[in-house]
Structure 1
Amino acid sequence: MKLKFPLIAAFVAVLSLTACGGGGGDDSPGGNTSVSSPATLTKTDNTVGTGAEAVSGKTVNLTYTLWLYDASKSDHKGTQMESGPYSFKLGTNAVIPGFEQGVTGMKVGGKRTVEVPSSLGYGVAGSPPKIPGNSGLVFEIVLNSVQ
């Protein structure tokens, strides 16, 4: 019974994505307006860390790279948007939900790829001018320390 809501939400998300596509030209100056998003949050540990664990209430120091999600690419990494070091306190809603959920549970020294659906990212509004509405995101995260 607990799976009923997530299954319905995933089904609605898939239906809404199929209703979005096709028919129009590219009206943006110099860019592709194709938008795609994974159906669910996906975390893949490329390297499992051995240090302290990232848990709610702790400050994490990490390095990340962000790409727009692109379903046509084998690694789903579309246009690279930004990268760099970043620190924040888990459990304070300081970042988008998908990024916080993606970092939680990592251990220092770990490297993780996180695919974030639009609903756990910037949603319908996006984050203009860089991130279009309804865009999925792909993060590569290296956890450097937990305090």
Structure 2
Amino acid sequence: MGVTKQTLQPGNGVDYPQKNSLCAIAYTGALYDASKADNYFMGKEFDSSRSRGPLKVNIGMGKVIEGWDQGVLQMSLGEKAILTISSDSAYGPRFVSSHP
């Protein structure tokens, strides 16, 4: 599956990050739950930047999960989106089984 992006709020449509661009990313990580269609299929939350502030990272350099490296490069400045990332582009199948 890789990565799919659902835009919640469009960005400026002009400024897209390039590989190695420093990006500030506010995020919430949640497991996919097919029964939660009314909440963008977001199941159990396992991480969030809310209390720490945005993560600053050079995108496209393998410093974050592959799905972020791919998905963030498709987002323009100010965009808010949901990235649905398959386990092979995230933490792998063992992560899912360890977070019931």
TM-score tier by shorter-chain length is: 0.7 to 0.9
- Contiguous gaps of at least 5 residues in structure 2: none
Change (3 A) 1:40 1:97: closer
Bigger relative CO (Cα 8 Å, ≥ 6 apart): 2
Matched residues in 2 for 1:40 and 1:82: separation? 20
Q: Which residue of 2 aligns with 1:83?
A: 48
- Structure 1 consecutive aligned stretches of length 4 or more whose deviation exceeds 3 Å: none
User: What is the RMSD of the two structures over their aligned residues, measured on CA atoms?
Assistant: 1.8
- Quick check: 45-54 or 81-90, which moved more? 45-54
Matched positions, count:
92
Q: Which residue of 1 aligns with 2:22?
A: 59
- Quick check: 114-123 or 42-51, which moved more? 42-51
State yes or no: 1:124 paired with 2:86. no
State yes or no: 1:48 paired with 2:17. no
State yes or no: 1:104 paired with 2:73. yes
Pairwise CA distance, 1:88: 0.8
State yes or no: 1:70 paired with 2:39. no
* Deviation per residue, 1:64-92 (Å, 9 max, x gap): 11111111210210011121110111221
Matched residues in 1 for 2:97 and 2:63: separation? 21
| TM-score, structure 1 normalization | 0.57
| TM-score, structure 2 normalization | 0.80
Kindly indicate whether the alpha-carbon contact (under 8 Å) linking 2:60 and 2:70 is maintained by their aligned counterparts in 1.
no
- Contiguous gaps of at least 5 residues in structure 1: 1-38, 136-147
* Deviation per residue, 1:73-128 (Å, 9 max, x gap): 102100111211101112210011012111112111110111011111111332xx
Matched residues in 2 for 1:63 and 1:118: separation? 21
Tell me the secondary structure at the aligned position of residue 28 of structure 2: strand
